[in-house]
Structure 1
Amino acid sequence: MTTSQKQHLRAPRERWLILGASAIILAVTMGQLVNGLSVYFVPLEVSQGWSRAEIALINTSGLIGLALGSLVMGFAAERFGIRPVALFGVIATGVATILASRAEELWQMYALFLLAGALGGGALSAPLMALVGNWFVVGAGLAIGIASAGQALGQGGMPLAGAFLIEALGWRDALAVQGLFTLVALVPLALLLRDPPETGNGAVLSDQTPSGLPNGLITAWLSLAVLFCCTCMAVPLMHLVPLIQGCGFPAPEASGVLFSMLMVAILGRVAFGRLADMIGAVPAYLVASGWQTTLVFGFTLLGRLDSFYVYAAIYGFGYAGVMTTLLVTVRNLSAPARRASSLGIVIAFAYLGHGLGGWQGGLFYDATGAYSWTFANAAFAGIANLVIVGALWLTINRRPRPTPA
């Protein structure tokens, strides 16, 4: 049996190991960097005297770092291989988090989260999603959905764990424990990662998009859309916990609502990945975005803990499909030879949107003393995203399909 035949037989088993390791790494790191700071709003406000806009800007600086890192680290993974890049990302995230636990000044938090995002999350988010897509040539939508579900698990689990750690240890030691856990748990998993075996058939990937539109135009169009989409998405992720705390509920109970929402989101991400395979990526993306946009403002109308749980579960299933269907949309609409760079650029704008949404949430809360305008702005951003993506879909469907070469 030749080496290539052995690789072919091993790949179906090995790709599931790669997917599992990637999902866990994304869960822990993205759970901390995307919305893990949500349970630190009140402790930092009380302990350090910082405003919520200033605290939200800590998270925004990390997401700006993620955006910048996503632009660069995808190319680094292609040049150096996924293992050293992922290992570097895990170590950078863990070390920066530990150092942040000892920070005394606000600018130190900004700088450390910026580095955690750029050198840590940026080395993991787009490269690992691209890695999963490369290992799963068939059924990539479902595989990306599962990896995205792992991230959803972390975005619910890490804030919940953080809330209990803060209650037991205080915010500084809680942050330090999270950083240590990142290093101990994820370094062995990063060592398991590797790029898929070469096909050996000499095939050249096409520079032509399936729709015939220029790849740069599609990338720019989706980047603009996702900037608004993730502005909407970030608001509940960052401000739902303090919103519920403002209704008189303690942090662990408020974090439990976010956790339950993101547990339902695990099912939603897998389901919408499958839906994208069935009806197409863009229609599935529009369904998920419409779901998110329609329901986001409703959180401000609630006041009972049980109503928050029920509403968060309903919202979470649909919202969860947004990132899964976005990733599949980028994969399906971009030119095969440009998928990695297109994915990195679109994800960069997604994290910029996350940062903008979280920051404006704190800004409008400080200005008004309530969260009504914060969540209203999220709905307006969601509407803008739907208009932009709908225009892209109409443009693609009105064009004649390119003739294969």
Structure 2
Amino acid sequence: MHDSAEAPTRLDRWYPWLIVVASLTMIVVGQGIQFVLSVSLKAMTADLGWPRQVPSLAYAASMVCAGIGALYLGRLSDRLGMGPVALIGAVMIPGGAVLTSFVTEPWQLYLVFGVMIGLFGNATIFAPLMANTTRWFDRNRGLALGIVASGQSMGGTIWPPIATALNIEIGWRGTFLWYGVAALILMMCMTLILRRRAPGHLPPAPVSAGSRRAAAAPVLGWPAWLVQAMLCAAIVGCCVPMALPLVHLVPHASDLGFGPAAAAGLLSVALATSFVSRVGGGMLADRIGGLRTLFIGSAIQAAMLAGIASTTDLALLFGFAAIFGLGYGGIIAMYAFIVREYFPSEGLGGRIAVVYLFGTLGMALGGWTGGYVYDAVESYAVAFAIGVAFNVGNLALIGTLILRSRGRSAAAVA
């Protein structure tokens, strides 16, 4: 009787993949609010008489606040598990969407997107979910992380056409309202799956001298804080050049004289191929490790961004955009993979949240840099070249860690 009680059930064996499905759904649905805002931006500003910088600033506030909020919520998931943290996001993001449908003043939009959508909404989505996913897998960890991270690409494919159709039928206010209703139902259902803790993920014991020594143990022969600082700098170095074309590729193509459909098609191609590389990159990381996979993806991103900056031929631009997507798509999930690979599992959510905070700052810096440089010199090519320089810095940091990793085993604790 005891043996049968201890034997894992079929549900136990498949539960890690249920976690992947639930996490993927949370990202697709929860981050859909950003795409709803993007599609509704023109109608919203025309209706309320706002300049377009108002919803743009609300978007930027949600990004930065999400990174800041994840610092606390990542640590909270270490203590309480993913369930309570996911529940916060499942309430805040839909609630923020519903409130957005009633805004009449810019400060109201800033408050909703900064606090509800960012600080307590999307802060619960990416970094905590990635950290939680790593706890469920020893084998196929990279594949699992790649599938979860692909939620960003899937959301970019699914939500814009839905939001466009809703804007036409019921207006931007109705679009936010019904998105909020649908998001509440879907996300609350996913929290029922995410409330189960990963095997071995127990509430932290009182801090002892031994646990403090374990947390401070060297990583790759260097102090743990130094390696984490290098990862934080590295993610800035890859997110600045990542954001530049994602935000400015469409206007760049338009400036070159191509029509709206062709310009938008470039971004669509990059997003489509990024979905493939998020899953493929995860599978590659399971074979060669996170650092090497990150280096390959970052090198592809740098080369393709240089190509985009140097050509005016539409066919070449489509080729560069497609391969750019293959490069950047697999990058972001690798940081969670690397932290889980080389650092102890204690405090995993907090460590990953710190790294991804710098990622959001890099994305914000990249988006701002493109606009600032264009206004100064009337050329996106110069901005893209700056992005390539950031990317070279990223490759130098990751290459250094790869050299340090030779002959050293990963230190993560299952």
Structure 1 and Structure 2 fold alike (TM over 0.5):
yes
Corresponding residue number in structure 2 for 1:153: 154
CA distances 1:232-254 after superposition (whole Å, capped 9, x unpaired): 21223333344456656447x75
SS of 1:26's partner is: helix
* Range with bigger deviation, 132-141 or 92-101: 92-101
Q: Is the 8 A contact 2:270 2:321 kept in 1?
A: yes
Inter-partner Cα distance in structure 2 for 1:156 and 1:87: 25
Question: What's the offset of the Cα at 1:349?
Answer: 1.1
Note closer, same or farther for the CA distance 1:17–1:169 as it changes in structure 2 (3 Å cut).
same
Paired residues, number: 400
Shift of 1:101: 3.8
Structure 1 stretches lacking a partner, 5+ long: none
2:77–2:349: 8 Å Cα contact kept in structure 1? no
Secondary structure of the corresponding residue to residue 336 of structure 1: coil
Q: Relative to 1, partners in 2 of residues 1:166 and 1:382: Cα closer, same or farther, differing over 3 Å?
A: farther
Q: Closer, same or farther in 2 for the Cα pair 1:238/1:172, shift >3 Å?
A: farther
Taking the aligned partners of 1:119 and 1:340, their CA distance within structure 2 comes to: 16
**Contact 1:209–1:336, Cα closer than 8 Å, also in 2:** no
Residue matched to 1:129 = 130
> How far 1:286 moved relative to its partner?
0.9
State the alpha-carbon separation in 1 of the partners of residues 196 and 145 from structure 2. 16
Q: Identify the residue that residue 193 of structure 2 maps to in structure 1.
A: 192
Deviates further, 111-120 or 186-195: 186-195
* Displacement of 1:44: 5.8
Matched residue SS, 1:295: helix
1:214-293 to 2 correspondence within 5 Å? 214-244=223-253, 247=257, 249-250=259-260, 255=264, 257-293=266-302
Q: What is the match of residue 29 of structure 1?
A: 30
Distance 1:4 1:221 in 2: 46
Going from structure 1 to structure 2, the CA distance change for 1:36 and 1:326 (only over 3 Å counts) comes to farther
Determine if contact 1:229/1:382 at 8 Å carries over to the other structure: yes
- C-alpha distance 164-9 of structure 1, shift in aligned 2 (>3 A): closer
The DSSP-based 3-state class of the residue aligned with 1:337 is coil
Moved more, 160-169 or 68-77: 160-169
Alignment check: 8 A CA contact 2:300 2:323 kept: no
After superposition, give the CA deviation of every residue in 1:57-85 in whole Å (9 maximum; x if it has no partner): 32221111111111010122233332222
Which of residues 357, 375, 378 is equivalent to 1:348? 357
- In structure 1, what is the Cα distance between the partners aligned to 2:279 and 2:170? 35
Aligned partner letter, 1:26: I
Q: Separation in 1 of the partners of 2:80 and 2:410?
A: 35
Deviations 1:167-212 (A, max 9, x none): 5555444344433332232221222223335449999985435523
CA distance in 2, matches of 1:239, 1:366: 13
Name whichever of 103-112 and 113-122 sits farther off: 103-112
Cα distance in 1 for residues equivalent to 2:197 and 2:336 = 20
Counterpart residue type for residue 358 of structure 1: G
How many angstroms apart in 1 are the aligned matches of 2:259 and 2:168?
14
| Cα deviation, residue 104, structure 1 | 3.4
284-293 or 155-164: which moved more?
Answer: 155-164
Structure 2: state its 5+ residue gaps: none
State the TM-score, normalizing by the size of structure 2.
0.83
Percent identity, aligned pairs only, is 30
Q: CA RMSD in A?
A: 3.5
SS of match in other structure, 1:136? coil
Shift, 1:402, TM fit: 10
- One-letter amino acid of the counterpart of residue 154, structure 1: G
On the 8 A contact 2:146/2:279 being kept in 1, the answer is yes
Q: Measured at CA, do residues 282 and 27 of structure 1 come closer, stay the same or move farther in structure 2, by a change above 3 Å?
A: same
Kindly indicate whether the alpha-carbon contact (under 8 Å) linking 1:226 and 1:349 is maintained by their aligned counterparts in 2: yes
CA–CA distance in structure 2, aligned partners of residues 305 and 173 of structure 1: 38
Identify the range of structure 1 (238-247 vs 339-348) with the bigger mean alpha-carbon deviation: 238-247
TM superposition shift of 1:268: 0.4
Q: 1:327 maps to what in 2?
A: 336
Change (3 A) 1:97 1:241: farther
What does residue 322 of structure 2 align with? Answer: 313
**Distance between the aligned counterparts of 1:330 and 1:170, measured in 2?**
44
Matches within 5 A, 1:364-383: 364-367=373-376, 371-383=380-392
1:320 Cα offset (Å): 0.6
Which residue pairs with 1:87 in the alignment?
A: 87
Distance in 2 between the 1:154 and 1:259 partners?
12
Letter in 2 for 1:340: G
Partner amino acid for 1:345?
V
For 2:220, the equivalent position in structure 1 comes to 211
CA contact (8 A) 1:209 1:333 kept: no
Q: Please point out which of 392, 395, 400 is paired with 1:386.
A: 395
Aligned residue type for 1:362: G
Do the aligned partners of 1:56 and 1:362 also contact (CA within 8 Å) in 2? Answer: no
Structure 2 counterpart of 1:138: 139
Question: Aligned-pair distance for 1:304?
Answer: 7.7
* Larger mean Cα displacement after TM superposition, 304-313 or 85-94: 304-313
